[in-house]
């Protein structure tokens, strides 16, 4: 009897070890931020959220993969250098920015179901920075959707001779916007 139980246990253990492990799943989410009111522009950030085989329903942010500017108003110097003009900046940047887990505040225990991840990206080709946080509050109703807050700053972008030294006129901020699913293309 003991030998049969041992054999059955070894057989089950070997079957579990030889079975292919389920891979991690991926979800694509984005946040769309309105930039400017007249005319309206938008900044869209796209993120990859992944889970692990052990935590199938727990998707956490891993990477920022796309930054999309759509008619974002910027203030620029005109060609003669005598005044300012407005540029409606549109560009899509495919990037790979690792999203890192934010440190826990000193002396505080982590609350279940709550997290915060941070990202920061310096643009190449022009001087600017986008940074932010993706978090999940434990105060929201279940299911709790991740939300984003952050800042965009463009300090020097030369688009063409008529639009040089373009800037975002300081920091553009957003806060508490939910990450939504990406529409099918």
* Residue 12, pLDDT score: 53
* Residue 19, pLDDT score: 44
Is residue 73 within 8 Å of residue 51, measured between CB atoms? Answer: no
SS3 content of the chain, % helix, strand, coil (to 5): 10, 55, 35
HSE-up of residue 132 (Cα within 13 Å, Cβ side): 31
* Residue 106, pLDDT score: 81
Considering only CA atoms, which of 157, 154, 183 is closest in space to residue 168? 154
Q: Two tokens at 142?
A: 């279940």
Give pLDDT tens digits for 92-121.
999 999 999 988 778 877 777 778 899 999
* Residue 8, pLDDT score: 53
Is residue 85 within 8 Å of residue 163, measured between CB atoms? Answer: yes
Residues 6+ positions from 88 with CB-CB distance below 8 Å = 39, 41, 71, 72, 73, 74
Q: Name the CA dihedral angle for 152, 158, 162, 166, rounded to a multiple of 10 degrees.
A: 30
Ranges under pLDDT 70 in the chain: 1-24, 53, 55, 81, 184-185
């Amino acid at each position: 009897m003991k030998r049969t139980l041992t054999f059955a246990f070894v057989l089950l253990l070997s079957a579990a070890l030889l079975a292919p492990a389920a891979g991690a799943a991926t979800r694509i989410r984005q946040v769309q931020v309105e930039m400017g009111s007249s005319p309206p522009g938008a900044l869209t950030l796209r993120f990859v959220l992944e889970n692990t085989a052990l935590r199938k329903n727990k998707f956490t942010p891993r990477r920022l993969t796309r930054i999309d500017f759509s008619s974002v108003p910027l203030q620029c110097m005109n060609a003669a250098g005598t005044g300012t003009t407005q540029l409606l900046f549109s560009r899509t940047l495919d990037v790979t920015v690792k999203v890192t887990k934010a440190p826990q505040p000193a002396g505080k225990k982590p609350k279940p179901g709550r997290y915060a991840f941070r990202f920061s990206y310096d643009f190449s080709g022009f001087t600017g920075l986008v940074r932010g946080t993706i978090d999940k509050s434990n105060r929201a109703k279940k299911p709790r959707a991740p939300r984003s807050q952050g800042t965009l700053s463009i300090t020097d972008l030369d688009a063409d001779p008529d639009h040089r030294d373009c800037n975002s006129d300081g920091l553009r901020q957003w806060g508490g916007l939910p990450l939504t699913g990406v529409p099918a293309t």
